[in-house]
Every structure is written in C-alpha cells, then in structure tokens.
A = this chain, B = another copy of it.
C-alpha cells in the first residue's frame, strides 16, 4: 500500500513514477529490479521513493495489483459477454484470448505477471500471494466439472489432467508472447487448435466419429473462447 504522500502527488509525477516502476518490474524480476534506477530515471531523490512507499516490496505489490486488476477486468469482460449457452470451449477461448491479448495491449503489465511466474524466491512469491487477492483458483476445473455433468465431456477422462494441460498451454503461450517468441497472430491459432484437440480428446466416446468438429479446427468462427486461470498473476 503506497503512503498517503504518494496520492497527494501531482498527477504527472505520480504517473511518471508509476510508469517507470512498471517498466522496471517488467524488465527485471524482483531482486534484479532497482529502486535506484527508478529514482534516477524519475529525477527524484533516493529518499523520496521512501516517502511514497514503505520499501521495494510495497512498490512491487502496488504495481502487481495494477497488473492484476487490468487482467481480471479483461477476462471478466470477455466472459460476461457470453450467454449461458456458451460451451466449455467457448468460455475457455474467450477468457484465454482476452488474457493473451493483453500481451499486446499492455505489454509491460503483462510482462510483470510473467516475471512473477519466473520468480525463484519462494518466500517472496508466497508473501505476494498472501496479499494479492485474486486467486484465479481453478475456474477451469469448475467449468470442466459442470461440462462433465452435462455430458459434454467424457467422465472417464481425468479432469485434473485436462485442466493441467490447458493451463500449461496458456502459461506457455503467455510466456512466449511476453518474450516475443510468438506474436498474437501465431498464438491465437495455437490456442484454437489446442482447444480443438482438447475438445476431441475429452469428448465422450459415443459422440465421436463424426466429422463435424474437424472443421472448426481452423478456429475461425468466434473467439469466444476462454482461458483459465493460470496465466494470470
């Protein structure tokens, strides 16, 4: 939590500091990010940053909360646009696509989340998790369970494994986007194709064998898809 003085700052100065901090934490993991660099770039004194934040961790949490909020909002918005008839795959596509698009629209905030995923300091990560509400705890698993109940997904298949697979893919897509190994134009088709393979893989036996689904392999139609939780934070 920033100190009161931070919010008393003139808009410009507050923005400047915020932006530079975002840049710093997007470019470096926690321990390698440098307050000294931030203050130097902002043209303020070292002591000043301690008027605004209790310390490095406090600033980090503040920035992380900004990033988390943006991400949650984007995902919520994408999901809320779906009707109740939306399938599991519609939901997954919509949520995940919304999340991945942030890699283009808010690349620095996105990178900050990815950097948290890379963090090796477990102590730090758990301190962050304690104070960062949005758990994103497996929404996908819930969706999956209800799809099983509706008969859309083979009950023989391990929901845990399916959820694990999907979140592994979205995490990797997120990393690859953030690191520039993939563009959004490459990532979204991969996501669609992944969902198609999952769809085929999870489908109950008795509805397999028809050609229909094969056509949406190209993943054209709607991107209502979705995502799950993992790549957040």
Q: Which residues of chain A have a CB within 8 Å of any CB of chain B? A: 28-29, 31-32, 115, 118, 120, 122, 154, 156-158, 160-162, 164-165, 167-169, 171-173, 179, 189-190, 193-194, 196-203, 205-206, 208-211, 214-215, 217
**A211 interface neighbour in B120, B173, B205, Cβ under 8 Å:** B205
CA distance A210 to B214 in the complex (A): 18
Contacts of A197 in B (CB 8 A): 157, 161-162, 165, 198, 201-202
Q: Are B120 and A190 in contact (CB under 8 A)?
A: no
Chain B residue nearest to A170 (CB atoms) is B168
Residue of B nearest to A205 (CB): B211
Q: Are B118 and A193 in contact, CB atoms less than 8 angstroms apart?
A: no
| B118 close to A120 (CB less than 8 A) | yes
Contact A193 B157 (CB under 8 A): yes
Q: Separation in Å of the A125 CB from the closest CB of chain B?
A: 10
Chain A, interface SS category: helix
- Please list 28 pairs of residues, one from A and one from B, whose beta carbons are closer than 8 Å in the complex, sorted by A's number: A115-B120, A118-B118, A118-B120, A122-B179, A156-B214, A157-B193, A157-B200, A157-B217, A158-B190, A160-B193, A162-B197, A164-B172, A164-B190, A164-B194, A165-B197, A167-B172, A168-B172, A172-B172, A197-B198, A197-B202, A198-B201, A199-B201, A200-B200, A200-B201, A200-B202, A205-B211, A208-B208, A208-B209
Complex contacts, A32 vs chain B, CB 8 Å = 31-32, 120
A206 to B212, CA, bound (A): 11
Q: A168-B171, A190-B160 are in contact. Are A214 and B209 (CB under 8 A)?
A: no
A212 to chain B, nearest CB (A): 9
| B190 near A156: Cβ-Cβ < 8 Å | no
A28 contacts across to B, CB distance below 8 A: 120
Residue of B nearest to A115 (CB): B120
A74 CB → nearest B CB, Å: 22
Shortest C-beta distance, A216 to chain B (Å), equals 10
Q: Which residue of B lies closest to A169 (CB)?
A: B168
Pair B194/A205 contact, Cβ less than 8 Å:
no
Is A161 a contact partner of B194 (Cβ separation < 8 A)?
A: yes
A200 smallest CB distance to B (angstroms)? 4
